[in-house]
Amino acid sequence: MIYVIDHEDSFTYNLVHLFENFGQTYVSNYFNIDKKKLDACKIIVFSPGPGEPSHYPETQKIYYQYRGLKKIIGICLGYQQILYAEKGQIIPQKKIYHGYQSRIKVLRESLIFKPNKILIGGRYHSLKLKEPFSSKTLKITMRCVETNVAMAIEDTINSVYGFQFHPDSFLTVDGKFLIQKILQA
Amino acid sequence: MLNNKEYLNKIFQSNKPLIIYKTIGGFDVYTDFKERIVLNSKNFKSFLNIKCNKLNSKIRELNCYVGFFGYELLCENINIKLPKQETLNFYPGLVYKPQTIIKIRKNITIKSLLKDFRKKIPSQKNYNYFYEKKFNLNLNEVQYSNLFKYFSKKIKMGETYQIKICQTYSNKSNIDSVNFFWKLMSINESPESFLIRDKDYSIISCSPEMLIKKKKNTIITKPIAGTLNRTKKMTTKYARSYFKKNEKESKEHNMIVDMERNDLSRICRSGSVKISKLKSVEKYRDLYHYVTEIKGLLKDKTTNHDIISAMMPGGSVIGCPKINTLKLLNSRERLNRNIYTGSFGYINANGDMHFSIIIRSILNFKKRSEISAASGVVIDSKPKKEYKENYIKAKSLLDLFKL
């Protein structure tokens, strides 16, 4: 089972429909977690949402509790939540991307996607990862072609993955493929 | 005996409660209401799920409830409490069960459950209609700009991605609503136009925005995001290329499309939500709109209440993401929105329904008319332009008071 933690976003159910292509998916609000189901699930997804990672201590706790034990996938805010838990700083960016379609490049560090491949992704974020960022296991694996802002992370050892952009958006080309690759990894 | 046309004119000239609803090729007039239910957050769910299922009229067109849900009721329905605001204490929501329908097409046809419906016309009286030509606006440009700046900061911090600031025009008046409605239709007929006239209030709307059209298990929504002030020489072709090239309008629209896909996905079968018509341009008297149509197939056992709760209040008039943006809006708006950004429409006994978003409307209540308009703050918008856009949206209604 896939457990999607919803941070009261208006894009969460687009993501849920994507994941439902690959297995039974359960959704709950971040403040209303079904602990039994969370324990039973194989994959935890942190949804997009408003605000910044520090607004959601509940999700931080879940990350620390299950990191390395289950596959964890973060989208947008969820991606930032993973980085924040890994001591990354999330900061405002000068140019804000809401409803943007961007070209995104896969880096050599990716073990899942083909390096140098260009993806088209829909973006909805005010904040970004402050760099330089370093982690022993978590690698930045995609960047915006135009601004170089970090767009995806992979930690194949602990099975943690994330996208700053939205595979669930209609602006993203073949978001289903992106999710499939992560689930197969 | 009155013929159909004479009968219709008589009831228009009286103060008989009635609803006029724009439909394809004409108008439907509902009247002789058997029930009038005031909705509130306590009876809303049972009304939708129990009462609506118990309808059993012999005439198909009359097997429905017609009415509106106000903004506050729709917020409370998804557990968002409004703080204390200035309020007229208007009805949170009202629905009517009609016993007579008059169809205005090329000809006028009438179906009624009552034998003597033609006799049910109140005797003429003097109704003391009056109106001021001038309106007061609840936010001046400086106040609007300040609010705008406050919300822009919230966008920079990621707390909202798009938020719609509402402005309200009001004046002293007691209007002849049917007369106003037909005047409005002659200058700006739009697909979701309607009128409700009751003993103590009336609502006139030329809303262009369809929120829910449900037939069997198919559900469609048609959000509008993107407005262009229309000048006389402008063509639809120009408008299309304007929207296409304008990054701000496109992004604002994209966001609403993803949000409405989300809202449909809450109640639809996995994988069934599809964009059926992306980014078309629709023409109105004072403006062009950018519109997308999204379709889905409802999950089995989805209730009326599930549908209303997933879709209302309609996202395109609130902003995104819905919950946090509603909270932000409600923390700053001092004036109750009443009907504005609520919904009007009908539910049939078989569960089919049609609802619009109430915008471009006049609420006449307690000798006061109010007209609200809202436009979106996204990161690239300018307060002056959005302030002006609100005026353009309200213009065809404000103009009615100048005639």
Query: ipTM value of the model?
Result: 0.97
Tokens of B238: 């120009």
Per-residue pLDDT tens digits for A91-147? 999 889 999 999 999 999 999 999 999 999 999 999 999 999 999 999 999 999 999
Alpha carbon separation from A78 to A5, B58, B157, B224 (Å, rounded): 9, 54, 16, 29
Window 298-317 of B, Cβ < 8 Å to A: 315
Residues of A with CB under 8 A from a CB of B: 8-14, 16-17, 20-21, 49-52, 77, 92, 96, 98-101, 122, 124-127, 166, 168-171
B25 contact A CB<8A: no
CA B37 to chain centroid, in Å, comes to 19
Q: What SS3 state is found at A125?
A: strand
How far apart are alpha carbons B98 and B113 in whole angstroms? 9
pLDDT of residue B380: 79
> Which residues of A are less than 8 Å from B162 in CB distance?
98
- Pick the residue from chain A with its C-alpha nearest to B274: A170
E strands, chain A, are 2-6, 25-29, 43-46, 71-75, 90-106, 118-129, 139-144, 150-155, 160-163
- Which residues of chain B are under the pLDDT cut of 70? 124
Which of B158, B251, B325 is closest, CB to CB, to A99? Answer: B251
Distance CA B231, CA B127 (A): 38
Q: Which residue of A has its CA nearest to B267?
A: A13
Alpha-carbon distance of B317 to B75, in angstroms, equals: 13
Sole residue written with tokens 């949402």: A49
> How far is B319 from B390, CA to CA, in rounded Å?
15
- Per-residue pLDDT, B165: 92
B257 touches chain A (CB under 8 A): yes
Spatial contact of B220 and B205, defined as CB atoms under 8 Å apart: no
Q: In which element (H, E) is residue B375 found? A: strand B368-377
Within 10 Å of residue B132's Cβ, how many Cβ atoms? Answer: 12
Our CA-based measurement puts residue A108 at a distance from the nearest CA of chain B, in whole angstroms, of 30
**Is A96 within 8 Å of B259 when comparing Cβ atoms?**
no
Chain B residue with the nearest C-alpha to that of A126: B158
Nearest to B353 by CA among B25, B64, B38, B53: B64
Q: For position B123, what pLDDT does the model report?
A: 77
> Could you give the CA distance from residue B61 to residue A76 in angstroms, rounded to a whole number?
47
Please tell me the distance from the alpha carbon of residue B87 to that of residue B333, in angstroms, as a whole number: 12
Contact B277, A30 (CB under 8 A): no
B297 touches chain A (CB under 8 A): no
Asked if B378 lies within 8 A of A171 by C-beta distance, the reply is no
- Cβ neighbours of A8 in B, within 8 Å: 321, 323-324
A18 to each of A14, A23, B66, B265, B273, how far by Cα in Å? 6, 10, 36, 10, 11
CB-based contact, B175 to chain A, within 8 Å: no
Question: Is A98 within 8 Å of B378 when comparing Cβ atoms?
Answer: yes
Q: What are the backbone dihedrals phi and psi of residue B333, each rounded to the nearest 5 degrees, phi first?
A: -80, 125
Residue A182: the pLDDT is 97
**β B319-320/B162-174 pair status:** antiparallel
How sure is the predictor about A180, in pLDDT bands with cuts at 50, 70 and 90? very high
Query: Does B379 sit within 8 Å of A99, measured CB to CB?
Result: no
Structural domain containing residue B66: 4-401
Six token digits for residue B20: 């006029």
Closest CA to B263 of B311, B304, B316: B311
The CATH architecture of the domain made up of A2-184 is 3-Layer(aba) Sandwich (3.40)
B324:A8 CB<8 A: yes
pLDDT tens per residue across span A53-74:
999 999 999 999 999 999 999 9
Q: Mark which residues 209-238 of B lie under 8 Å from A by CB.
A: none
Tell me if B162 and A169 make a contact (CB, 8 A cut-off).
no
Residues A99, B262: C-beta atoms closer than 8 Å: no
For residue B157, which amino acid is it? Answer: M
Given CA atoms B176, B181, B186, B187 in this order, what sign does their dihedral have?
A: positive
Question: What is the CA B216 to chain-centroid distance, rounded?
Answer: 23
With CA atoms as reference, the chain B residue closest to A101 would be B251
All structural domains of chain A with their residue ranges: 2-184
The answer to whether A79 and A51 have CB atoms below 8 angstroms apart is no
Mark out the alpha helices in chain A (DSSP H runs): 12-19, 35-40, 57-66, 77-85, 175-184
CA A53 to chain centre: 12
Number of domains in chain B: 1
Residues with Cβ < 8 Å from B317, sequence gap 6 or more?
A: B164, B209, B341, B357, B359, B374
Judge whether A182 and A74 are in contact, CB under 8 Å: no
Closest of B16, B385, B24, B20 to residue B191, by C-alpha: B24
Say how many CA atoms lie within 13 Å of B349 toward its Cβ.
Answer: 11
Cβ contacts (< 8 Å) between B306 and chain A: which residues? none
CATH label of the domain that carries residue B84: 3.60.120.10
Q: What is the pLDDT of residue B89?
A: 93
CB spacing of A170 vs B161 below 8 angstroms: no
What integer pLDDT is reported at residue B84 of this predicted model? 87
β-bridge mates for residue A44, sequence order: A3, A72
Contact A8 B323 (CB under 8 A): yes
Q: Which residue has the tokens 């029930």?
A: B35
